[in-house]
Amino acid sequence: MQFGVGRLPGMVADSVRDARRDTTNSKPTKHEHDLRELAHADFAAAWLGHGGVLLRQGGTTILIDPVLSDRIGPRIGGRTIGPARLASAPAAVGELPAIDLVLISHAHYDHLDRPTLEQLARSGTTLITSRRTKRLIPRGFGRVIELGLDDDLEIEGLRIAALRPEHWGGRTAVDVARGCNSYLIESNDRRTLAPGDTALTTEFDSVGAVDLAVFGIGAYEPSEHHHATPEQVWQMFTAMPGRVLLPVHHSTFDISGEHIDEPIARLLQAAGDHAAQVAAVKPGELWVPGEG
């Protein structure tokens, strides 16, 4: 998703109209006990709402595209102008386990959320992001690394490879030259694919089997050329093939035309007899192998 100039007046109106019920100071639903347990797991994941995922793999705790703010978009006059969260975030930053590695797929406001990253910044945390986005990252991280498409690196006992999604990066309507990554995360015995935003693509067909695929299944109406439909997600998932699909990027912000319940319903229908492979967890709930 990106906020273009054409949508800004409506966002301003929405923000003013919602001011009395702004959830900026609301308390998050308490799931911190389960989320902290993730740091002791061999392999586990938790959906944090929208595209945000907390992942434990290879002895490393990873955050992917974390957005825990109550509203997303540019800041104007000290206020964030953009869609409000439909429900409180499942945890505050201080209720997460210690984070070793943060992965940012691209610069859109709903994936690179500076307020969340400012709270996460620690000298012991490394952040990997797409090309030409390093300057958008708040100070305070131990290392900030730009990873170009088709490049890879070894870090924290993992191999991180940047793959090419069918999407684009940018921060404004005219800011279109920034990078946009999907990530393949490999440890000794596990493989996780985190595509970030993508439309239907064959890019992942050659990835090979993955233990966990974190696909966005929403924001396709009317933007199917930027975000895959649930049926297209299932097609990409089975082509790899994937063992478990963790659906994200839905039911968090009102940023598209489909009904809030539609993406999951369509995904489960597309999966049919294989619906058990879909880890349809709620925000803040843990998924571990063998538990759905």
The tens digit of pLDDT for each residue in 18-41 reads 433 343 333 434 444 579 999 999
Residue 291 lies in a domain: no
In total, how many domains does the chain have?
1
What would the pLDDT profile of 77-95 be if each residue is shown by its tens digit? Answer: 889 999 999 999 999 999 9
Residue 289 belongs to some domain of the structure = no
Among 8-22, 101-115, 213-227, 234-248, the minimum mean pLDDT is found in: 8-22
**Mean pLDDT value across the chain:** 89
What percent of the chain is predicted at pLDDT more than 90? 80
pLDDT score for 23? 34
Note if the pTM is more than 0.75: yes
In-domain check, residue 111: yes
Q: How many Å apart are CA 178 and CA 130, to the nearest integer?
A: 8
Does some domain include residue 260?
Answer: yes
CATH code of 197's domain: 3.60.15.10
pLDDT computed for residue 12 by the predictor: 37
Structural domain contains residue 225? yes
* Domain assignment of residue 292, yes or no: no
- In this structure, what DSSP letter does residue 71 have? B
- Structure-token pair, residue 106: 């691209």
Nearest to 198 by CA among 221, 180, 174: 180
H helix intervals, the chain: 8-17, 32-37, 114-120, 230-239, 262-271
Residue 170 inside a domain? The answer is yes
Task: Give residue 258's pLDDT.
Answer: 94
What value does the mean pLDDT take over residues 128-156?
Answer: 97
- Domain region containing 160: 5-17+30-281
Query: What pLDDT is recorded for position 90?
Result: 95
In a domain, 259, yes or no: yes
The larger pLDDT score, comparing residue 224 to residue 29, is at 224
Exposed/middle/buried for residue 196 (C-beta within 10 Å: 0-12, 13-18, 19+): buried
- Asked if pLDDT for residue 215 goes beyond 50, the answer is yes
pLDDT at 292: 53
